[in-house]
Amino acid sequence: MTKHIFKRRFTNTILFAFLSLYAVSILYPIILMFLTSFKTTREIFTNPFGLPASFEFTSYIKLLTVSNYLTYFRNSIFVTIISLGTIIVITSTASFVLAKYNFKWKNFLYLFFVAGMIIPIRLGTISILKLMIGMHANDTLFSVIIVGIAVGIPFGIFILTDFIKMIPEELSAAARIDGCSEPAIFRIVVIPLLRPALAAVAIINYIPIWNDFWFPLVFLKSDSVKTVPLATALLFGQYQTNYALVFAVLSMASIPVMLFYIIFSKYFVQGLSSGALKG
């Protein structure tokens, strides 16, 4: 018994040490980024890893008052919210149909959706650009939203379909006996049980949509429709770069991501494992 307890404690200690090192490796760059945002450009190079000599808010003041970054943040928030909302609506309804009903080409349709996880969408950049120009959607936030939705749908279908299959059919049958229509069954029975999986889908798709640089670079030209990643890249000049402002922008841009993850993290592991690891 003593040997067993010692072995278990030793294993737990090793695991705790490993997880602690892993947490430090993640938190240290984030903390360093926030501290660096309060330094001057000169201090960033002379004392890159130390604490600021004095906390300078000049970059944040310039970011919020002088520059156009409030517009860029508003554009990124708008693109992310609309994209995620549309992804959740489309994938939840489509997954419900694929999971609960049998019809011709069902398996082909499911594989068609899931194939989007394998084929990189950037391979079709030129064709997508031509499509947006033909739709007169180029240089609008609509073009970036459409691409974000297209990228997020395959993973959402993959997770939600298997998750919905785990919901007992007896619940739907009982709802039908009570007079519920199929849309009502989806809304009353399925959606409340689907919240952990929906949170997992939202978290997985949030970061790629928020951090997307490629398609805004291709589609967006006007300053009024630029997103945060695209506008941040423009801070790196050919001859001079205001690194203090760059770190301030990066710090501000990371706050929504961390808040979003903190709010929905309790559903993340449950939803992801329940859907993707279904036996």
pLDDT digits (tens, 9 = 90+) for 61-118: 877 776 778 888 899 999 999 999 999 999 999 998 888 888 888 888 888 888 888 8
Over residues 25-42, the mean pLDDT reads 86
pLDDT digits (tens, 9 = 90+) for 112-128: 888 888 888 888 888 89
Measuring CA to CA, which residue among 259, 254, 256, 262 is closest to residue 32? 254
Class of domain 69-276: mainly alpha
3-state secondary structure at position 49: coil
Q: How far apart are CA 202 and CA 164, in angstroms?
A: 16
Q: Does 278 have pLDDT greater than 60?
A: no
What confidence category does residue 272 fall into, taking pLDDT thresholds of 50, 70 and 90? low
DSSP H helical segments within the chain, as ranges? 2-36, 41-46, 58-61, 69-100, 106-114, 125-134, 141-165, 169-177, 182-185, 191-211, 214-219, 228-233, 243-276
Q: How far apart are CA 249 and CA 247, in angstroms?
A: 5
- The three-point CA angle 4-10-14 to 5° equals 145
Share of the chain above pLDDT 90, in %: 14
In the prediction, which pLDDT does 164 show?
87
Higher pLDDT, 275 or 170: 170
pLDDT digits (tens, 9 = 90+) for 153-166: 998 898 888 888 88
Measured in residues, the chain has a length of 279
Q: Does 3 have pLDDT greater than 70?
A: no
In the prediction, which pLDDT does 239 show?
47
